[in-house]
Amino acid sequence: MAKVAVVVFCLLSLLTLALAHDPAPLVYTRQGAVTGIRLKERGKLIDAYLGIPYAQPPVGVMRFRKPLPVKPWYDVFNATEFNPGCVQTDLPLMKGAAFNMSGTVEDCLYLNLWTPERTCLTKSKSPCKTLLPVLVYLYGGFFGWGTASAFIFDGVFLAARANVIVVTLNYRVNILGFMNASIPDSPGNMGLYDQVEALRWVKGNVEFFGGDPNAVTLAGQSAGAISIGYHMMSPMSKGLFHRAVMLSGSPSSLAYADTIDQSANFRRVSQSQDCVDYSLPWHLQKEDMVECLRRVDAHRLVNDAMASLAYRYVTVLPSYGDDFLPYSPVENDRIKLNVKDVLLGNTRDEGALFLEVFAAQYGFEVGDVDGLTALVLSIKTLFNIKLTESRELANAYIEEDDVENQLAALKGIKSSLDDGGFECPADLFSELAEKNNVTVYRFLFDHRPSWSPWHPSVGATHNDDIVFFLGTLHSDRKAVNETVSRDLLAVYRKPPTPDEYRFSDELVQVVGDFCWSG
């Protein structure tokens, strides 16, 4: 069961290019020439350019800083392999199961691009006269995990089916992406600034691949969708994209982030690495503390820091009040949106997944305590609120006669997550969009995958929709990196049903049509 969840819900193994491929046409970007590989999908030729740097490596003195544009290169850049994801801890999925992320690296700001074959690219250095719309995808992972090299984000299927250019990218996560020391050297939101830099790269270069820089759709799921909501509000992202696809997330999904004490988190992280001089007031040594943290091994820093934070799922998150996000995402009267069309949706049982994740992260099962206590603790932790407030909310989700009932507690936790993290935020965002004359198309994903590892009572839950919308049901499981255990590959080797393939094809076409015309 645990092994199935690792594969189905994360699938964070890297693609291996097991067979030799023909080279893709040489493309001359503003930074230099790149070559890639030519793939074939559904009888169509797709040119893939994998692992293109879009920013300077965020290492050494650049750790915790905003990214800088990538420097030009003078030789042909060989864009034929994915780059690993940004440094992060192992990803807990359910009790006794976590995904090994030790292969992640700090030099991680790279993107991948898939384009249908453009014969115009082989004839000259000039852009194609007929340009394709572009979809840029941002992965989820609660701003603490994720990698663009996961095979569920392979863009070849969407590019072939929808006739669009697809871009995926790595951005910094965890404390390396979101620690906020409230100083220029560590402003917080580094992962969001990474996304801006990638969008700028796309704006400046996608035309050379045959893409239209004025027809960019930004798509993402969970934290990726929340990020998109922030980009719609950010003055820095204006003009960098024009439409949005948001799966299972919207700006106020993390409204409780306002309650996070960023200064306290920074102190705890610094204390975990002995980077605090207790003879001095802490606010007089922020720069020294950050400089000390820059000298620590990245993997050790992230793992030690996470262990030092009380609620690891709700403490390392985006913040507002900076150049990227000047205002709180819930201050609707002060916010103007940067797009014209939005495709917004949730799954039927979003909250069900987090029940297992919560138990995996904090080492207890809901059955260990009575129903009401489990519900109170879960709401308090997941929404980072006071215990008294959590009790009030819990009482609204469980009947007085059911305080000992474990099933009632499970339903209450799931419902509170559905409402507080997804449904209500989606409603609020839709209202904001209407005020800004933005067209919103909403949907509910209600198909439980045939391979679902969860209890039969759980319907379509968080993450279930990704492979359907991106078309990666068609992914060649034999091409998954060999570091994934054979047991996991054996479990996932069971193919989806014919109806699921057809359903996915229909959803991919919906996404493609949206990119083309809204």
26 within 8 A of 34, measured Cβ to Cβ: yes
- The beta strands (E) that lie in 197-281 are given as 211-221, 243-247
| CATH number of domain containing 244 | 3.40.50.1820
* 165 & 190 share domain: yes
* 130 & 207 share domain: yes
Q: pTM for this structure?
A: 0.90
* 207 & 59 share domain: yes
- Determine phi and psi for 202, rounding to 5 degrees: -60, -45
* Residue 170 to residues 107, 109, 173, 477, Cα–Cα distance (Å): 10, 6, 9, 22
| Catalytic residue status for 475 | no
* 354 & 369 share domain: no
* 92 & 78 share domain: yes
Q: Which residues contact 434 (CB under 8 A, 6 or more apart)?
A: 440
> Containing domain of residue 156, as a range?
2-360+421-492
Which stretch of DSSP H or E encloses residue 228? helix 223-233
Start-end of H helices in 145-189: 156-162, 174-178
Quote the pLDDT of residue 118: 83
What whole-number distance in Å separates Cα of residue 222 and Cα of residue 459?
Answer: 18
Residue 30 lies inside a defined structural domain of this protein: yes
Residue 504 lies inside a defined structural domain of this protein: no
Residue 271 lies inside a defined structural domain of this protein: yes
Task: Output the six-digit token pair for 215.
Answer: 């027809």
Q: Residue 518 burial by CB count (10 A; 0-12/13-18/19+): exposed, middle or buried?
A: middle
Q: Which residues contact 443 (CB under 8 A, 6 or more apart)?
A: 343, 344, 345
Catalytic residue among 149, 222, 270, 319: 222
| Catalytic residue status for 242 | no
Catalytic residue among 106, 197, 207, 350: 350
- The beta strands (E) that lie in 318-452 are given as 341-347, 439-445
Q: Report how many helices (DSSP H) and strands (DSSP E) the chain contains, helices first.
A: 16, 17
Residue 497 lies inside a defined structural domain of this protein: no
What whole-number distance in Å separates Cα of residue 263 and Cα of residue 283?
Answer: 9
Quote the pLDDT of residue 454: 76
Residue 185 lies inside a defined structural domain of this protein: yes
Task: Count up the domains in the chain and report the number.
Answer: 2
What whole-number distance in Å separates Cα of residue 234 and Cα of residue 237?
Answer: 5
Catalytic residue among 462, 474, 475, 504: 462
| Catalytic residue status for 462 | yes
Residue 393 lies inside a defined structural domain of this protein: yes
Residue 127 lies inside a defined structural domain of this protein: yes
- The beta strands (E) that lie in 184-259 are given as 186-187, 211-221, 243-247
Where residue 347 falls (left for φ over 0; alpha for ψ -120 to 50; beta otherwise) is: beta
* 368 & 336 share domain: no
* 135 & 272 share domain: yes
Torsion of CA 48, 51, 53, 56, to 10 degrees: 170
* 102 & 65 share domain: yes
What whole-number distance in Å separates Cα of residue 286 and Cα of residue 353?
Answer: 38
Torsion of CA 349, 354, 360, 364, to 10 degrees: -90
What whole-number distance in Å separates Cα of residue 262 and Cα of residue 278?
Answer: 19
38 within 8 A of 46, measured Cβ to Cβ: yes
* 259 & 398 share domain: no
* 269 & 397 share domain: no
* 407 & 433 share domain: no
Radius of gyration of the chain (CA): 22
What whole-number distance in Å separates Cα of residue 201 and Cα of residue 52?
Answer: 10
What whole-number distance in Å separates Cα of residue 202 and Cα of residue 219?
Answer: 14
* 164 & 53 share domain: yes
* Residue 499 to residues 447, 450, 468, 503, Cα–Cα distance (Å): 11, 10, 11, 6
pLDDT means over runs of 10, the chain (518 residues): 38 42 92 96 94 98 98 97 92 65 93 92 68 98 91 93 97 96 92 99 97 98 97 97 97 76 88 94 93 97 83 72 90 85 95 69 54 72 76 76 62 80 92 94 95 82 93 68 36 76 97 96
